[in-house]
Amino acid sequence: MCSKQSIYRATVSAKVAAGRDIVLLTLVPEAGDSLPVAQAGAHIDVHLPDGGVRQYSLLSASPYQIAVKNVRDGRGGSRWLHDDVREGDVLTIGTPRNNFSLRPDSSDVLLLAGGIGVTALLFMYRQLTGQGRNVHLHYWIKSSADALLFDQLVGLEHVTLHECGGRVVSMRSLIAQCPAGTDVYCCGPTRMLEEFASITRDLPPEKVHVERFAPVVTADGVTDRPCHLKLARSGMEIEAEPGQTLLEALIAAGVDMDYSCEEGLCGACETRVLAGQPLHLDTVRSPAEHDRLHTIMPCVSRSRSDELTLDL
């Protein structure tokens, strides 16, 4: 996998246990270098020795810190970071991307976290409390041992730990009780995000913010329609065949694209749509956000119309 996104080399200056099967990695620039500024909600790509790329939310930006849960049956990224990476090793990482940023003008903020999804929300919590803003973080954990940084969180003002054996309880009532106009952010396991989506269906879309690290399951056959792509800037015309993603078709035709996850999760491939009707299958943005921004994630999304014109 490759990408034209800027990459950096960062030294692992510390690697410490931060919960059961969770390590906290602190990344600093190599001597004489610097790393880009990052805001709460951002994630970075970590490049693996086998050429793969994984996304990890930042827990802090100065220095960069990422919390990594070891997923034994995962795709190998977390296992490598847990088992092989040592203090002093140098990682290749990407520019921070932020598809989950805090709205600057929100008066009340509710942060809902499950599992390792708490990483980005803890960064937000620290930033918002530092600014004296009205925020509450709810964190659902299986047990104290399973929580990220439990000892630092327990007893903290405006933080509630729900030790619930893995079941997310009371999310509906918490959202119902918050003042009108509250911005609600959620990151956690897929089941939690599905419940969150169902609970917040009737809230104003601009108040509801979610970040996923697993792709949504889409209806069978939805990607099997051919699509004629017109590239407005280069003048190229490309056919995306059934079974081929738009991104694959673009790259096969030699288009220089930025991309990373290829699962509609990271936002790296976001491209402006100038004409046609996209069929959005990513989880980075809501369809309403795509409509407002006129964008598509070609790594997973397709077209409802026979043609799409892209700003490429």
How far is 212 from 193, CA to CA, in rounded Å? 8
* Cβ 270 to ligand FES shortest distance, Å: 7
Interface with ligand FES, residue 115, by CB under 6 A? no
Nearer to ligand FES, 81 or 284 (CB): 284
Rule CB under 6 A: choose which of 297, 308, 310, 312 binds ligand FES.
Answer: 297
Do you find a cis peptide bond into 49, omega within 30 degrees of 0? no
Question: Is the Cβ of residue 186 or residue 266 nearer to ligand FES in the bound state?
Answer: 266
Using the rule CB under 6 A, is 259 a contact of ligand FES? yes
Residues near 173 by beta carbon (within 8 Å), at least 6 away in sequence: none
Q: Is 269 one of the binding residues for ligand FES (CB under 6 A)?
A: yes
For residue 245, the minimal CB distance to ligand FES (Å) is 9
The strand order across the sheet containing 134-141 reads 159-163, 134-141, 108-114, 183-187, 208-211
The answer to the question of residue 265 lying near ligand FES (CB under 6 A) is yes
Residue 188 or 267 having the CB closest to ligand FES = 267
> Which residues make Cβ contacts (< 8 Å) with residue 167, sequence separation at least 6?
140
Do 117 and 188 meet the contact criterion of CB atoms below 8 Å apart? yes
Q: Does 260 bind ligand FES (CB under 6 A)?
A: yes
268 touches ligand FES by CB under 6 A: yes
Give 12's strand partners. Answer: 27
Letter for the amino acid at 256? D
Contact status: 229 vs ligand FES (CB under 6 A): no
Footprint of ligand FES (CB under 6 A): 259-262, 264-269, 282, 284, 297, 299
